[in-house]
Amino acid sequence: MLESDLLYEQGYSVRINTPADPLFYYFDYDQRSHDINMEFQHDHDFYEIHILLDSSATHIIEGNIHALQQYDIVLLAPYRLHMTQYPAGPPHKRLIINFNMPGNTPGLEAAYHTMLQPFAAEVPIYRFTGGPRSAVFEPLNAIFTLSHNTSPLNPVLIHSLFQQFLCSLFQQSGQNAYVLEEIGNAMMQKIYSITARIHSHYSSELSLDSISKEFYISPYYLSHQFKTVTGFTLTEYIQMTRVRKAQQLLLHTRQKISDIAGQCGFNSFSQFNRIFNKQSGMSPSAFRKAQGLSGGASSTRSY
């Protein structure tokens, strides 16, 4: 292994706490293939880092398509819309890191704000080579090695090492060699811009006619191209977006289900209930009551 490589073990993961906790980490070492590409752009209420470990892929951020190479680092702030797509062929290795950390520690607020600045870049993708890459990856490799040993100190040591990683990333950000490349055709770019528009205006009135006028595309052509690019009709995509937002509110708030229906753009409670059942396989109330999430990692170290 070269000094600038990132350590990897397929199916391995490291977890500290849960996304609902102020301090949360989840390191997921796994692989993905074209056959299980994400079908839908999504966001989280926590930070996410995607590091491609081999070959190439594309990452869509807020409707903009970006090409990725090996060891490119994608930084996603909470609620930033994104989706990864992998090319056909063998599965592609990647490391996904989800995290939350309290930024209101007295005396450290300004430092934490600075440390997280790379996430706020217009194109939050970083490509390092040589010494800068080694400096950025060293703390991550230390976390990987440390996590294979059992110690009651591991959570605090992992937290410390991860802060070193973020600090190093900020310090090396001036060495970023990532270059935007033209990906796809103009229509594909426009379709993903439309999906971003849907995600940011899901509570508003959305229709084929209104969107086609806004983006200067005929309704017939938009309908055909949207299905070709995303695999869904425009109506299906709007409904899925609204249901996903409703699911988040059902899980993370105490709002009334009828209020959530209106907030997510549904014209009536009966329409919401029907579409939610179709998308989720259960009623909104049953979804809210459902407990437990299952993980797919073959080897997980939890603290």
Give residue limits of the domains in the chain.
12-175, 186-289
Report helix, strand or coil for 276.
Answer: helix
pLDDT score at 297: 41
- In CATH, what class is 12-175? mainly beta
Question: pLDDT digit string (tens) for 166-185?
Answer: 999 999 999 999 988 766 67
pLDDT score at 87: 84
**How many other CB atoms sit within 10 Å of the CB of residue 132?**
21
Left if phi > 0, otherwise alpha if psi is -120 to 50, otherwise beta: which for 217? Answer: beta
- DSSP letters spanning 126-188: E---HHHHHHHHHHHHHHHHHHTS--TTHHHHHHHHHHHHHHHHHHHGGG--------S-HHH
Exposure of 125 in the CB half-sphere (CA atoms within 13 A)? 23
Contacts of 82 (CB under 8 A, 6+ apart): 41, 42, 43, 48, 59, 60, 61, 62, 74, 76
Which one-letter amino acid corresponds to residue 230? T
Distance, CA of 194 to CA of 215 (rounded, Å): 8
Ranges of residues in the chain with a pLDDT under 70 are 1-4, 34-40, 182-184, 291-298
Question: pLDDT digit string (tens) for 122-137?
Answer: 899 999 999 999 999 9
- Contact, 208 vs 194, CB < 8 A? no
Distance, CA of 235 to CA of 239 (rounded, Å): 6
φ, ψ for residue 97 (rounded to 5)?
-120, 120
Distance, CA of 111 to CA of 120 (rounded, Å): 15
121 alpha carbon, distance to own chain's centre: 16
- Contact, 11 vs 29, CB < 8 A? yes
- Contact, 54 vs 92, CB < 8 A? yes
Query: Could you tell me the fold of the domain covering 186-289?
Result: Arc Repressor Mutant, subunit A (1.10.10)
Report helix, strand or coil for 89.
Answer: coil
Which one-letter amino acid corresponds to residue 3? E
pLDDT score at 22: 92
pLDDT score at 178: 95
